[in-house]
């Protein structure tokens, strides 16, 4: 009973309703303390009156949806991807709550994928209905869910990507209430990387800690007795994880995780405080975000990294001079063309039916990681060529 009272008080603080004003819609979680059901989510989305677009269908036929708050024409786009792991529901609830309170006419467009893994949420499983971890599929795009998100990133080109997760008792050495991390992949442009780290350290961290939460860098083993960081055990530079893939696609971003040992209301509010931090970051740094994004898209030179991270020096063999491009046979192109298109990668026809994917394009940071046999998990091994 005390938990329900606290939850209702938390809701009233979040959304004050002026006297005589129509009360805004509430999620089932806000009303009952139970996670919002699939049907309840659809009822709530209709009640908000916000534009909702179906961007994909899961293997079990559930829609993956995109909710837009703000104009289509805004120069700054912020994307929130909520609960990629179906057994991590607090991020989804925070997204549903937050979308209704954002300004609908502003210089920023906020996009939400409120339920990024509908089949997993229905089954309360980490993976989708095929048991695949969607957050390990943002490179090869084998799942309908990851394909839907890739299309959104390609079509909207978000400047900031905020990915909401949770962690549980399977990792007892994560002793904080909230963990956060920026893209670590070394192929992410310096400006995007640095602003992403600023977003985590200088905006999300103080926002959640001002609300009484403890927080820290995701993937760091913390001694449960001393509270001191010991070593890095997760959170590397793998390009297939959204935190890194988003950076490779020129979006400043971060992963935010809340601790499932806390109450549901505490976890949802923790995510809302982290969202506050991202919103403040966007308002304070729009010029810098725009400049870093443009510089990242315009970059056409520099080495390619097939290993390492911003906290781990790559092996010398993993640092190579960038080729001019990659030649795909006609058969390879047929095999890969859908994934290349979803990533926004362009190619050119060659005599004889082959195709060349030049590195001189906006998708440059991603191309070698997809098409070079030396990459960690390539889509295929195409032939690098020094001259196009």
Residue with the two structure tokens 């390619």: 304
Rounded to 5°, the CA angle 110-111-113 comes to 145
Output DSSP code: residue 241: S
Please, which residues bridge with residue 54 across strands? 65
Integer Cα distance of 51 and 207 in angstroms = 29
What span, in angstroms and rounded, lies between the C-alpha atoms of 254 and 205?
12
Q: Which residues contact 280 (CB under 8 A, 6 or more apart)?
A: 203, 207
User: Which residue among the candidates 88, 93, 166, 269 is catalytic per the annotation?
Assistant: 269
Strand partners for 320: 304
Three-state SS at 235: coil
Question: Distance of CA 268 to CAs 3, 50, 205, Å?
Answer: 13, 21, 16
CB-count exposure of residue 280 (10 Å: 0-12, 13-18, 19+): middle
Per the annotation, the verdict on 269 as an active-site residue is: yes
Active site residues: 269
């Amino acid at each position: 009973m005390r938990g329900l009272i606290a939850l209702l008080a938390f809701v009233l603080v979040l959304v004050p309703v002026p006297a005589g004003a129509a009360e805004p819609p509430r999620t089932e979680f806000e009303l009952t303390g139970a996670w919002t059901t699939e049907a309840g989510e659809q009822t709530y989305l209709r009640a908000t009156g916000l534009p909702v677009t179906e961007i994909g269908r899961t293997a079990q036929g559930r829609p993956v949806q995109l909710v837009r708050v703000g104009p289509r024409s805004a120069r700054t786009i912020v994307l929130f991807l909520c609960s990629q792991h179906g057994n991590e529901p607090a991020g989804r609830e925070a997204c549903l709550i937050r979308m209704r309170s954002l300004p609908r006419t502003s210089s920023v467009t906020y996009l939400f994928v409120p339920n990024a893994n509908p089949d997993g949420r229905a089954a309360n499983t980490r993976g989708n209905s095929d048991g695949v971890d969607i957050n390990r599929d943002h490179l090869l795009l084998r799942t309908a869910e990851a394909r839907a998100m890739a299309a959104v990133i390609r079509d909207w080109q978000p400047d900031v990507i905020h990915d909401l997760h949770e962690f549980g008792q399977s990792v007892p050495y994560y002793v904080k209430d909230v963990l956060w991390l920026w893209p670590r992949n070394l192929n992410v442009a310096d400006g995007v990387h640095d602003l992403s780290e600023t977003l985590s350290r200088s905006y999300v961290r103080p926002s959640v800690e001002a609300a009484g939460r403890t927080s820290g860098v995701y993937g760091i083993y913390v001694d449960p007795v001393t509270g001191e960081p010991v070593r890095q055990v997760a959170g590397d530079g793998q390009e297939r994880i959204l935190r890194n893939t988003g950076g490779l696609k020129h979006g400043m971003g971060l992963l935010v995780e809340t601790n499932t040992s806390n109450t549901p209301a505490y976890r949802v509010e923790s995510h809302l405080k982290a969202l506050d931090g991202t919103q403040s970051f966007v308002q304070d740094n729009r010029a810098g975000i725009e400049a870093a994004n443009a510089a990242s898209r315009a970059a056409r030179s520099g080495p390619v990294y097939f290993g390492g991270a911003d906290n781990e020096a790559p092996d010398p063999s993993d640092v190579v001079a960038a080729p001019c491009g990659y030649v795909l046979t006609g058969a390879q192109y047929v095999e890969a063309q859908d994934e290349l298109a979803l990533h926004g990668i362009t190619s050119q026809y060659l005599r004889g039916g082959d195709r060349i994917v030049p590195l001189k394009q906006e998708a440059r940071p991603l191309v070698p990681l997809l098409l070079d046999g030396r990459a960690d998990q390539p889509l295929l091994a195409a032939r690098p060529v020094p001259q196009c």
